[in-house]
A and B are shown apart, each in its own frame.
Chain A
């Protein structure tokens, strides 16, 4: 998902009097795509750079909670599937960095923003994966929520982002289905296994609902991003869609949701749900979730430990280029 509306408060409203702004908005209104070298308002560029890079960071950090279980997957089939899924998430991060770079910020700068703690990533990845059932839950619910959020982004006004999202959405469906299959196996297993599945659902349900970002009542930037056709639905609309799609799937598994207020509203046809604990959300976003420190420590270590490889590769490329130049000079003599 991972495009949780996070710290988008400082965006300036585009100056309505500028002719360029008006032309830009007309193109967006006509559902034309904006491409990297096209003129765009600075605030549009800034907002997108932040949203896409945070989305990329989320994919990358999102590899950690699942990577935690690759060596402990219960069967070879599950291990192969999990490995492929985690590799996909790494790929999603790279598609997205590549899209964000077209807006003029370098990859290194974005990685630096993540590692220095300046940039945010989705709150969901700061929760621990305690049992194998958590891997089922992540695929079923976390990727499920991601799909809900990402499908409208395939029509985002910024071309490179929209195209990256199309690739990503094609791959997400496998993620969700493999997660649900893990849940199904547990729920049809021993009472202990089913209990494990239930406990995982109990722990993850509320954090997953928070993935859609603050309630519409409290999110002040929906207007601009909607006008720019970056966002097509509000946080609460997407959250409701997700709840409606997911609750019957949970009931099919024979599981219950940890929300006494959850009930089908006969009038609206939607599932009503209870109040989300926004103080927890704010705490986790601010860096004080169960795993924030561990995640960042692991990312920094991975980056630092890989530095010699990047340096060696560049040095080798330099050496080869120098050799080629020398051979060329010799031949020219």
Chain B
């Protein structure tokens, strides 16, 4: 292969008003404009989207799943962050 590889872009789509953009897959394209067009053709042929983001895949920094415990365990032990940790007498009613 003498040809240069074309960059990879991650595609995010807002499917409905009021929803956040969600990752749907990736496309290859030389630049951002072409990536947007490719994403439109590949991921929204049936009105799946109102808005598209394309992000160079190389620009994403991801946490390592192997560090999952170190990253997220501390939150598991902080049960006082949840409403159910606190006692409210029944007579007070719904709170």
Contacts and interface: CB of A to CB of B under 8 A. Distances in A.
A324 to B, nearest CB: 11
Interface size for chain B: under 10, 10 to 19, 20 to 34, or 35 or more residues?
Answer: 20 to 34
Nearest to B4: A314
A267 B26 CA distance: 49
Contacts of B24: 167
Nearest to B29: A313
Contact of B6 (A39, A160, A310, A320): A310
Given A88-B45, A91-B42, A307-B3, A38 B30 contact: no
B27 interface: yes
Contacts of B28: 107
B62 to A, nearest CB: 7
Interface string B64-77: 11100000000000
B31 A313 contact: yes
Contact of A101 (B1, B8, B45, B62): B8
Nearest to B10: A98
Interface string A27-41: 000000001011100
Interface of A is mostly: helix
Contacts of A112: 1
Contacts of B5: 106-108
B20 interface: no
B27 A314 contact: no
B45 A317 contact: no
Interface residues of A, number: 31
Given A99-B25, A101-B26, A107-B28, A313 B65 contact: no
B30 A37 contact: no
Contacts of A320: 31
B65 A38 contact: yes
Contacts of A88: 45
B62 A37 contact: yes
Interface centre among A39, A98, A171, A307 (most CB of B within 10 A): A98
B19 to A, nearest CB: 17
Contact of B64 (A37, A106, A107, A108): A37
A97 to B, nearest CB: 9
Contact of B26 (A98, A108, A167): A98
7 contacts: A38-B65, A91-B45, A98-B26, A107-B5, A107-B8, A307-B3, A311-B3
Closest 5 CB pairs of A and B: A313-B30, A317-B31, A317-B30, A98-B26, A98-B25
Interface of A: 35, 37-39, 84, 87-88, 91, 94-95, 98-99, 101, 106-109, 112, 160, 163-164, 167, 171, 307, 310-311, 313-314, 316-317, 320
